[in-house]
Amino acid sequence: MTSSLTQGLSLLGAVIDQERRNQPGLNASRLAEQTGIERSRVSRLSRELRAREMLQRDETATLSAGSAFFRTASALNTGWLRASRPALRSLSSGLGVHALITVANGPRAMLLRYELASNDFDRSIRDGLVTPIWCTGAGRALLWDHSANDLASLLDGVQFSGVGGPHAPRSVDEVHDRLERDREAGVISADQEYDEGVDEYAVPIRHRGAVIASLAVRGRHRPAGISRAMRSTLVHLADELSIAADAD
């Protein structure tokens, strides 16, 4: 039992570490090579981890973190993240939008916690959802403090073509220009950048000055852009969560 638990944690750790380093995902064979665990045992343990949604496997048999891993990770966090639940509910119920807490993972953004609007206009939201960091409001808020050089380093080798919606940025320079625009406005605006017909607005959450997450709302496209009430509520709640983070 102890051996199975230890080996299972080793497999999960190897997969997560691969994702954090933005390296190509591992299949069972490569996972066996990397961990030194027998291939047949890797297959059995990975099946068990997938059954418990700690891992998931795509059509190429590549393994990645599953929804249960992200639920567990978020449950273990204290302070500001626990305090985010009423903030998310306030945004969702008060404004009729999905409300999201997102963290950075290299050039990607990972959904950590969310509250869905009652109108169920978008079924893509799920635990552990991974999206490009540059063409979502939630993701780009994580880049708030990035300089042009920081962006060039982070997004080096990123494939912009064919990713995102009709208004997605297609180069590092475009990402930088939109950051400059949005920093001046005080909120990230992503107008149909990831999905057609969907807008995201977001602001960073900070801990001792550093961006640690983003607070975002996601809803149907609004030609008029973000409303004054939505902007004010979003900024206020992000400030409260930043204060809670500093108090942890």
Residues 174-194 have a mean pLDDT of 97
Token readout for 62 is 């590549």
Residues 125-129 have a mean pLDDT of 78
Q: What is the pLDDT of residues 27-54, one digit of tens each?
A: 999 999 988 999 999 999 999 888 888 8
Residue appearing with tokens 């990402």: 175
Q: Give the model's confidence band at 81: pLDDT under 50 very low, under 70 low, under 90 confident, else very high.
A: confident
Residues 76-100 have a mean pLDDT of 86
Delineate the domains of the chain, giving CATH numbers in brackets.
2-65 (1.10.10.10), 70-247 (3.30.450.40)
What is the structure's pLDDT at 78?
61
- Percent pLDDT > 90 in the chain is 56
The 3-class SS string of the chain reads CHHHHHHHHHHHHHHHHHHHCCCCCECHHHHHHHHCCCHHHHHHHHHHHHHCCCEEECCCCCEEECHHHHHHHHHHCCCHHHHHHHHHHHHHHHHCCEEEEEEEECCEEEEEEEECCCCCCCCCCCCCCEEECCCCHHHHHCCCCCCHHHHHHHCCCCCCCCCCCCCCCCCHHHHHHHHHHHHHHCCEEEECCCCCCEEEEEEEEEECCEEEEEEEEEEECCCCCCCHHHHHHHHHHHHHHHHHHHHC
First to last CA, the chain: 36
What is the structure's pLDDT at 77?
57
What is the structure's pLDDT at 2?
41
When mean pLDDT is compared over 59-63, 97-101, 118-122, the highest value belongs to 97-101
* Average pLDDT score over the chain: 88
Residues 119-123 have a mean pLDDT of 70
Q: Give the model's confidence band at 65: pLDDT under 50 very low, under 70 low, under 90 confident, else very high.
A: confident
What is the structure's pLDDT at 120?
66
Q: What is the pLDDT of residues 186-230, one digit of tens each?
A: 999 999 999 999 999 999 999 999 999 999 999 999 999 999 999
Residues 78-92 have a mean pLDDT of 87
Q: Report the DSSP beta bridge partners of residue 204.
A: 214
Does the structure show a pLDDT above 50 at 1? no
What is the structure's pLDDT at 139?
96
What is the structure's pLDDT at 76?
54
